[in-house]
Amino acid sequence: MRDLELEEYRLRVREGLETGVTAGVAPGRVQANLVILKGDLAFDFLRFCQRNPKPCPVLDVTDPGDPVPRLVAPEADLRTDLPRYRIYERGELVDEVTDVRHLWTKDMVAFLLGCSFTFERALLEAGIPVRHQECGCNVPMYRSNIQCVPAGAFRGPMVVSMRPIPASQVARAVQVTSRFPAAHGAPVHVGDPVAIGIEDLARPEYGDAVEVREGEVPVFWACGVTPQAVAASARPPLMITHSPGHMFITDLRDSDLALF
């Protein structure tokens, strides 16, 4: 996708003409999770992200009241430029909308967090299979027994995603994803699901189960569902997020996030 095409796509989203999932849109551009909080909770949440960079890699955080992500998409408006949003009150989902201008207040802070699309593309380019993509389903995600470092009201377990990797390619998968700390980075755990509190790989808490074949190792990465789950469990008066799969598309290219 050329810059102009991205600009046109974003305008169509802004006008409410594009409301679908963003998988496959603007290949090579970094997509991001969105969390909007207000007041003191925003500072608490930024400290939470700083303490838990693997599940919560911050790509951009706006100034209070500023809906423009000046680091990663200075022409965009986070109140209108995602195809679909979720509204939470005290941790309960109360609405799903395509525009949040009517809810925006001058103490709101928007967080854009890296997402796994970036490192999955890197895995595929390195010739490493991504099972759930082969199956056309969602990645399996599990609540682990790894506790995040708390900050203010924000605390809880790390949610991890699992990809079965052939034993001969595990080391390469670690190398490839290590280049992208802003997209969850290296795995948090390799093999032995029970050691991180996952009793049954066939029963993920989120997403879909996938087969782990003979000669494959289950490899676990920190997952972007963590910040949403943690933020919701803090039961803030109001929280806005993207709807699952309906991400914000930044101006950044995957290569901009690569360490080297």
Name the residues that contact a copy of itself, by CB under 8 A: 42-43, 46-47, 50-51, 58, 61, 63, 70-71, 149, 151-152, 175, 178, 181, 186, 259-260
In the complex, what is the shortest distance from the CB of residue 260 to a copy of itself, in angstroms, rounded to a whole number?
5
Kindly tell me which of 22 and 62 has the beta carbon lying closer to a copy of itself: 62
Partners of residue 147 on adjacent β-strands: 157
**Which of 148/249 has CB closer to a copy of itself?**
148
Comparing CB distances to a copy of itself, the nearer of 20 and 152 is 152
Q: How far is the CB of 224 from a copy of itself (least distance, A)?
A: 17
CB of 39 to a copy of itself, least distance (A): 10
Question: Cβ closer to a copy of itself: 58 or 212?
Answer: 58
CB of 48 to a copy of itself, least distance (A): 10
Nearer to a copy of itself, 50 or 147 (CB): 50
Residue 13: CB minimum distance to a copy of itself, A: 25
